[in-house]
């Protein structure tokens, strides 16, 4: 018989990127007494890896648990970026309700719509938390209307529309039920969670079923499956069978060797867990997302939606430049292969395929950000390799017609820049779907555009809008191929010989375009050292010294002034490279180079 387990609540915190999910979780942890009074806690304690902390984004969903009035609240902090949307979809299978965080100034954004749609489809109750109400330009009343309109757009039923609103400042550590209440602490949010989010229910006496929704990885114990106990109880040393709804053939006998529950920021060993508990299970070597752990007597897989397919791919290639092996610790194809396959342990939206050459691997992911985070992680770990320009993954329909992935792009720009954005996206086969006014002199544009049309556009977009534009995208299915797009109008400046760059050589080179390097840097023949102002590639000798003569001329000793070079970040470099170029990635440097380094061979290749 199904019973409710009143001492547990399972919630996910969902929102658009940067609306304050992780900071909110911090406050819930602090105010529920997880930390000692005098304990020093770093900000955004849930963002555990370096890249998450530096960029201020959440990449992997995280589990934590707090206690309030004797009830255990399991909280899952989810990513907000579209590239990691797959994480959000799966996590929602573990919870009985969500807290939707919306910025009191920005209001409902594209990713808010994406995550809310997923929650409503699963019939999950929603608590709306209007965050950052202490921002000077906050407009909470208008944002409530926007959120309710979004609910109506997404066909929410009456029960879902009747959701509670809570107003908060996660940074200042308080939540309010009414806007004119006096701010004290987070208790109003805790109370709302207890009142409004249903307790998990299941049959504790039935056969055990645990659906694995996320995978953690640990050097010592290998893969750890995280999931919710839907029925029955699970205990250490219990014999189980692993089955999967999408793979009817799969039936693997396993034994539970270790079982953990979450408590604050740590995992705690438990002997057994029953209905509604979120548990972590280690000791099953090839457990994966979507697997169901069942009792051997009656193995029934729990249905589970398929993980979203990758839309773009890059080649990861062993570095073969003249400087290969000088800066990295791991440089061989075996190192590269092992590292990429290890990534598959935790990242389910990633695909790695071997190619005809042993030195090159095709890596497919959900977007440029998804792959650039992997590249950045690898270079920090001491890997050295090269990557090609991102390409989109095409499909064929039943009539053999070519289909390509499309994106819905939502753009907020100051009114004076709308013309240039519409023109640029038009050249990239973007189609304007809607245009409206946003708050504060901004225009909201909505485009349908091929995914390849956005590759390399973000940097240009920031330049065109003087850093004031906001560009958000979400995957919008496949559509017939829209025709060729020209990526880059300008050519590259290429180093002519190997050596060290000299001020004299760079001085004459800078008249040709924008340089990416300064004096005293090692260069090699075929390396790209800048962007040409015109369309063709030019080879330049930047290692050239000035000839010494025995006559003194009047201007000889005047100092040569160099403009400072444009140093490209990893994303900018990935955006900049063209189809005949590679990006050489080492722990110390990012160098752009031509695929064919030898100038004669390169010219033949063009012909």
Is 18 annotated in a binding site? The answer is yes
Q: Which fold, 396-480?
A: Alpha-Beta Plaits (3.30.70)
Q: How do residues 24-74 score in pLDDT, each as one tens digit?
A: 777 777 776 544 444 444 444 444 445 444 444 443 445 777 888 888 888
C-alpha radius of gyration, the chain, whole number: 27
Q: How do residues 143-160 score in pLDDT, each as one tens digit?
A: 888 888 888 888 888 887
Is 292 annotated in a binding site? The answer is no
* Alpha-carbon separation of residue 481 from 366, 402, 433, 455 (angstroms): 19, 6, 18, 16
* Alpha-carbon separation of residue 260 from 37, 266, 424 (angstroms): 26, 9, 52
Say what the pTM is: 0.71
Percent of the chain with pLDDT over 70: 87
Is 23 annotated in a binding site? The answer is yes
Q: How do residues 109-131 score in pLDDT, each as one tens digit?
A: 767 777 788 788 888 888 888 88
Please say if the pLDDT value at position 16 is more than 80: no
With tokens 């793979």, the residue in question is 247
CATH 3.40.50.300 in the chain is located at 3-201
pLDDT at res. 551: 61
Report d(CA 355, CA 461) in Å as an integer. 34
Please say if the pLDDT value at position 385 is more than 90: yes
Is 396 annotated in a binding site? The answer is no
Is 214 annotated in a binding site? The answer is no
Is 482 annotated in a binding site? The answer is no
We find that the CATH architecture of domain 3-201 is 3-Layer(aba) Sandwich (3.40)
Query: 3-state DSSP helix/strand/coil percent for the chain, to nearest 5?
Result: 25, 35, 45
Is 131 annotated in a binding site? The answer is yes
Alpha-helical regions (H) of 465-569: 503-509
DSSP structure string for 302-364: PP-PPPPPP-EEEEEEE--STTTTSS-SB-SHHHHHHHHHHHTTT-TT-EEEE-SSTTEEEEE
CATH 2.40.30.10 in the chain is located at 203-294
pLDDT at res. 43: 44
Q: How do residues 331-378 score in pLDDT, each as one tens digit?
A: 999 999 999 988 887 777 788 999 888 899 999 988 787 788 889 889
263-272, 304-313, 375-384 — most confident range: 375-384
Is 21 annotated in a binding site? The answer is yes
Q: Which fold, 203-294?
A: Elongation Factor Tu (Ef-tu); domain 3 (2.40.30)
In terms of pLDDT, which residue wins out, 489 or 132?
132
Q: How do residues 436-486 score in pLDDT, each as one tens digit?
A: 876 667 788 889 999 888 887 877 787 888 877 777 777 778 889 888 877
What lies within 8 Å, CB to CB, of 9 at 6+ separation is 71, 72, 73, 74, 96, 97, 193, 194, 197, 199, 200
Q: 13-17, 171-175, 222-226, 555-559 — which is least confidently predicted?
A: 555-559
Task: Name the CATH superfamily housing domain 491-549+556-567.
Answer: bipa protein (2.40.50.250)
Report d(CA 506, CA 517) in Å as an integer. 9
CATH 3.30.70.240 in the chain is located at 396-480
């Amino acid at each position: 018989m199904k019973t409710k387990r009143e001492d547990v609540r399972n919630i996910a915190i969902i929102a658009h990127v940067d609306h304050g999910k992780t900071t909110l979780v911090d406050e819930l942890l602090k105010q529920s007494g997880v930390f000692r009074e005098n304990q020093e806690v770093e900000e955004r304690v849930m963002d555990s890896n370096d890249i998450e902390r530096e960029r201020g984004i959440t990449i992997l969903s995280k589990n934590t648990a707090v206690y309030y009035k004797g009830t255990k609240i399991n909280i899952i902090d989810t990513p907000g970026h579209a590239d990691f949307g797959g994480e959000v979809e799966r996590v929602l299978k573990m919870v009985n309700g969500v807290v939707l965080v919306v910025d009191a100034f920005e209001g409902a954004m594209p990713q808010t719509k994406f995550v809310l749609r997923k929650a409503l489809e699963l019939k999950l109750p929603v608590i709306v938390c209007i965050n950052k109400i202490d921002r000077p330009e906050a407009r909470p009343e208008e944002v409530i209307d926007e959120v309710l309109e979004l609910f109506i757009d997404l066909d929410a039923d009456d029960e879902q529309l009747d959701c509670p609103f809570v107003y908060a400042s996660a940074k200042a550590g308080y939540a309010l039920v009414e806007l004119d209440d006096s701010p004290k602490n987070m208790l109003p949010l805790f109370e709302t969670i207890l009142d409004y989010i249903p307790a998990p229910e299941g049959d504790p006496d039935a056969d055990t079923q645990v659906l694995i929704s996320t995978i953690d990885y640990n050097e010592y114990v290998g893969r750890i499956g995280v999931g919710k106990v839907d029925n029955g109880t699970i205990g250490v040393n219990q014999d189980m069978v692993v089955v999967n709804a999408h793979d009817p053939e799969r039936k693997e006998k396993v034994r539970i060797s270790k079982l953990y529950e979450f408590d604050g920021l740590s995992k705690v060993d438990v002997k057994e867990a029953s209905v509604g508990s979120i548990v972590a299970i280690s000791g099953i070597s090839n457990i994966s997302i979507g697997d169901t752990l069942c009792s051997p007597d009656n193995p029934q897989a729990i249905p589970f939606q398929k993980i979203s397919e990758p839309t773009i791919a890059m080649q990861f290639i062993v570095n073969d430049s003249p400087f290969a092996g000088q800066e990295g610790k791991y440089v061989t194809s075996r190192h590269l292969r092992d590292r990429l396959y290890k990534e598959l342990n935790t990242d389910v939206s990633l695909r790695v395929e071997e190619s005809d050459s042993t030195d090159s691997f095709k890596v497919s992911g959900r977007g440029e950000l998804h792959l650039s985070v992997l590249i950045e992680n690898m270079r920090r770990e001491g890997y050295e390799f090269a990557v090609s320009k991102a390409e989109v993954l095409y499909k064929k329909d039943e009539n053999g017609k070519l289909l390509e992935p499309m994106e819905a792009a939502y753009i907020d720009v100051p009114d004076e820049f709308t013309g240039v954005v519409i023109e640029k996206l038009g050249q990239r086969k973007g189609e304007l779907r809607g245009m409206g006014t946003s708050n504060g002199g901004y225009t909201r544009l909505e485009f349908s555009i091929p995914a390849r049309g956005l590759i390399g556009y973000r940097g240009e977009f920031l330049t065109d809008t003087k850093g004031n534009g906001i560009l958000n995208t979400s995957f919008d299915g496949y559509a017939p191929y829209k025709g060729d797009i020209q990526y880059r109008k300008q050519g590259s400046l290429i180093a002519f010989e190997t050596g060290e760059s000299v001020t004299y050589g760079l001085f004459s080179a800078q008249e040709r375009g924008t340089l990416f390097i300064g004096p005293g840097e090692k260069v090699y023949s075929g390396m790209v050292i800048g962007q040409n102002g015109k369309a063709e590639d030019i080879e330049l000798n930047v290692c050239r010294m000035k000839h010494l003569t025995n006559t003194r001329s009047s201007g000889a000793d005047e100092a040569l002034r160099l403009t400072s070079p444009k140093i490209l970040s990893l994303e900018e470099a990935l955006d900049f490279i063209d189809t005949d170029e590679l990006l050489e990635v080492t722990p110390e440097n990012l160098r752009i180079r031509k695929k064919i380094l030898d100038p004669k061979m390169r010219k033949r290749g063009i012909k």
